Chains A and B, each alone.
Chain A
Amino acid sequence: MELAATAAKAVFIVAFILAIVPMLVLGERKVSGWIQDRHGPNRVGPGGLLQPLADGIKFLAKEVLAPKSVDRKLYFAAPALLLVPALMSGAIIPWSKPIPADSFIGNLLSAENWSPDGIPFQLARIDVGVLYFLAIVSLGVYGVILAGWASNNKYTLLGGLRASAQVISYELSLGLSILAVLLMAGTLQVDKIVEQQAGAGWFIFYQPVAWFLFSVTALAETNRAPFDLAECEQELVGGYHTEYSGMTFATFFLAEYGNMAMSSALNVSLFLGGWTLFGLEEMIPWYLTFLIFIGKVLLFLFVFLWVRWTFPRFRFDQLMRLGWKMALPLALGNVIVTAGAIALHEMWSAPLWPVMAAGQLALIGAVVLTSVLNARADAQRSQA
Chain B
Amino acid sequence: MSAWIMAAFMLTAAAGAVMVILYRNPVYSALSLVLTMFALSAIYVMMGAYFIAVAQALVYAGAIVVLFLFVIMLLNLRNQQALKESFGLRAAVGALLGALFIGVAGGTMWAVLSPDQFSKSAEVFKDEGHTESLARLLFKNNLVPFEAVSLILLAALIGVVVLIRFHGRPSSDNSEESNDA
Contacts and interface: CB of A to CB of B under 8 A. Distances in A.
Q: A and B: real partners?
A: yes
A168 B73 contact: no
| Most central of A135, A145, A148 by chain B CB within 10 Å | A135
Contact of A164 (B61, B69, B76, B180): B69
B43 interface: no
A226 B106 CA distance: 53
Given A126-B50, A127-B131, A145-B69, A161 B74 contact: yes
B54 A168 contact: no
Interface in A85-137: 126-128, 131-132, 134-136
Given A135-B58, A149-B27, A127 B130 contact: yes
Nearest to A158: B73
Interface string B38-81: 00000000000011011101100111001101100110100000
B34 A128 contact: no
Q: Which interface class (under 10, 10 to 19, 20 to 34, 35 or more) fits A?
A: 20 to 34
A309 interface: no
A134 B27 CA distance: 24
B129 interface: yes
B74 A132 contact: no
Interface in A159-196: 160-161, 164-165, 167-168, 171, 188
Given A135-B62, A146-B27, 5 more contacts: A74-B27, A127-B131, A131-B51, A142-B31, A145-B66
29 contacts: A74-B27, A74-B31, A126-B50, A127-B50, A127-B51, A127-B130, A127-B131, A128-B51, A128-B131, A131-B55, A135-B57, A135-B58, A139-B57, A139-B62, A141-B62, A142-B34, A145-B66, A146-B27, A146-B31, A149-B73, A157-B76, A160-B73, A161-B70, A161-B74, A168-B63, A168-B66, A168-B70, A188-B131, A381-B180
Interface of A: 74, 126-128, 131-132, 134-136, 138-139, 141-142, 145-146, 148-149, 157, 160-161, 164-165, 167-168, 171, 188, 381
